[in-house]
Amino acid sequence: MNIKQLRQQARERMNGVCRVCPVCDGRACAGELPGMGGIRSGASFMANVEALSQVKLKMRVLHGAASPGTACDLLGFSLAMPVLVAPMAGAQFNMGGFFTEERFAEIAVAGARDAGIAACTGDGTDEAFQCGLAAVARAGGWGIPVVKPWSGDFFFARMDQAAEAGCRAVGMDIDTAAFTALGKSRRPVSPKTPEELRAIVDGAHSRGLKFLLKGVMSPEDARIAEDAGCDALVVSNHGGRVWEALPGTACVLPEVARSVSRLPVLADGGVRSGADVLKMLALGASAVLIGRPCAIASVGGEEEGLVLWLKRLRRQLVESLILAGLADVSDAGPHVIASAPWL
Ligand SMILES: Cc1cc2nc3c(=O)[nH]c(=O)nc-3n(C[C@H](O)[C@H](O)[C@H](O)COP(=O)(O)O)c2cc1C
């Protein structure tokens, strides 16, 4: 299988839900939710891709860094590159239904592990959460279940299950605090006060789990997350799926990263290539999450397809590091940026 075949097969299997466009930028699928699109106008999804395309890197090719390192440690995982597969629930209703929830979670978790990285798994329905958790358990805890910000004690029940399943980390996608699409589950979600967040983080730690807060878009929330004891946060607007009024994540990442002192800051939204990974790292991220391209690779080519796509991404990252003059991925920083209009 090659990338072209993988994409062709994904186009067929996605059943029209995802067109597998040459550039995955949210235009063709605007407003398609359920589906793969961004909410309403799709503007926040498009803003993610547009913001990254406006970042230009500085080329440095007179140096000796011919084989740069890409490995990194994150939340107790040793990764071949600073990339995680983003949590994506709803294979049945978001991705054309070719794969069951169970099979999609299995592909994402096992494919990510086989490519030397790790996958997050999603939530929203009980089936989605349980299938993701089971896949992580089968992989010996190699993966991060990301739980919706359920109201009351239900979040703690999910953390109990994650701990029992052998997970080492758990996340919460706080950007879905007003997610109406969850109405079907008939279980309420809610924003969290700083005190509630601290209780959740303490609850994770007392169960032996590290805690990842996903969906931070402001320095104010980032500081609260740091004070609450989170182990990492993700600058994310949920791939533009929760609010059409948000800026591209790359635009807010530098300010968020500067606002915390010890907390690792991750980012997602619109990352499509090795150069995009380096752009996010240069803007202040320690690692990135990638959503839709991993869904396309998983649906199009199962574990083999995801591994193929991720290995190509790593080759592109190595190429970008060489062209930026970096001997190691940890050397990325603002000095490799040639221009970003908002900086
Ligand atoms: C079909 C689909 C389902 C998703 N489900 C979840 C989920 O269950 N939990 C979550 O935290 N994020 C979910 N996300 C958001 C992704 O984790 C991620 O933030 C986003 O896709 C990143 O943007 P990108 O797709 O442009 O890479 C979902 C995204 C898509 C496209």
Distance 89 CA to ligand 1 centre (A): 8
Would you say the CB of residue 270 lies under 6 angstroms from ligand 1? yes
Q: Using CA atoms, how far apart are residues 6 and 44, in angstroms rounded to an integer?
A: 27
* pLDDT greater than 60 at residue 176: yes
Confidence grade of residue 179 (pLDDT, cut at 50, 70, 90): confident
Distance 302 CA to ligand 1 centre (A): 18
Provide the whole-model pTM.
Answer: 0.98
In this prediction, residue 158 carries a pLDDT of 97
Would you say the CB of residue 131 lies under 6 angstroms from ligand 1? no
Q: Using CA atoms, how far apart are residues 279 and 260, in angstroms rounded to an integer?
A: 20
Would you say the CB of residue 212 lies under 6 angstroms from ligand 1? no
Instruction: List the residue whose alpha carbon is closest to atom 12 of ligand 1.
Output: 87
Q: Using CA atoms, how far apart are residues 326 and 333, in angstroms rounded to an integer?
A: 10
Distance 86 CA to ligand 1 centre (A): 6
In contact, 38 and 244? CB cutoff 8 Å: yes
pLDDT in tens, 239-270: 999 999 999 999 999 999 999 999 999 999 99
Would you say the CB of residue 94 lies under 6 angstroms from ligand 1? yes
pLDDT in tens, 278-318: 999 999 999 999 999 999 999 999 999 999 999 999 999 99
pLDDT in tens, 1-16: 999 999 999 999 999 9
Would you say the CB of residue 274 lies under 6 angstroms from ligand 1? no
128 CB-near residues (< 8 Å, 6+ apart): 89, 90, 101, 105, 121, 122
In this prediction, residue 21 carries a pLDDT of 98
Strand partners, 268: 289
Would you say the CB of residue 314 lies under 6 angstroms from ligand 1? no
* pLDDT greater than 80 at residue 217: yes
Closest atom, ligand 1, to C-alpha of 94: 1
For the chain, percent of residues with pLDDT exceeding 70: 98
Task: Centre a 10 Å sphere on the Cβ of residue 335 and count the other Cβ atoms it contains.
Answer: 12
* pLDDT greater than 70 at residue 185: no
Q: Using CA atoms, how far apart are residues 59 and 81, in angstroms rounded to an integer?
A: 21
Would you say the CB of residue 89 lies under 6 angstroms from ligand 1? yes
Average pLDDT over residues 164-180: 95
* pLDDT greater than 90 at residue 182: no
Lowest mean pLDDT among 24-33, 65-74, 186-195, 222-231: 186-195
Average pLDDT over residues 146-157: 95
* pLDDT greater than 60 at residue 238: yes
> What value does the mean pLDDT of the chain take?
97
In this prediction, residue 181 carries a pLDDT of 58
In this prediction, residue 180 carries a pLDDT of 65
Q: Using CA atoms, how far apart are residues 223 and 114, in angstroms rounded to an integer?
A: 35
Q: Using CA atoms, how far apart are residues 259 and 226, in angstroms rounded to an integer?
A: 10
Confidence grade of residue 187 (pLDDT, cut at 50, 70, 90): confident
Q: Using CA atoms, how far apart are residues 224 and 53, in angstroms rounded to an integer?
A: 30
In contact, 333 and 282? CB cutoff 8 Å: yes
Options 3.20.20.70, 3.30.390.50, 3.40.50.300, 1.10.230.10; CATH of 72-329: 3.20.20.70
pLDDT in tens, 46-96: 999 999 999 999 999 999 999 999 999 999 999 999 999 999 999 999 999
Each domain of the chain, given as residue ranges in start order, spans: 72-329
Average pLDDT over residues 224-244: 98
In this prediction, residue 140 carries a pLDDT of 97
In this prediction, residue 184 carries a pLDDT of 61
Would you say the CB of residue 42 lies under 6 angstroms from ligand 1? no
Distance 65 CA to ligand 1 centre (A): 35
Would you say the CB of residue 146 lies under 6 angstroms from ligand 1? yes
For the chain, percent of residues with pLDDT exceeding 90: 97
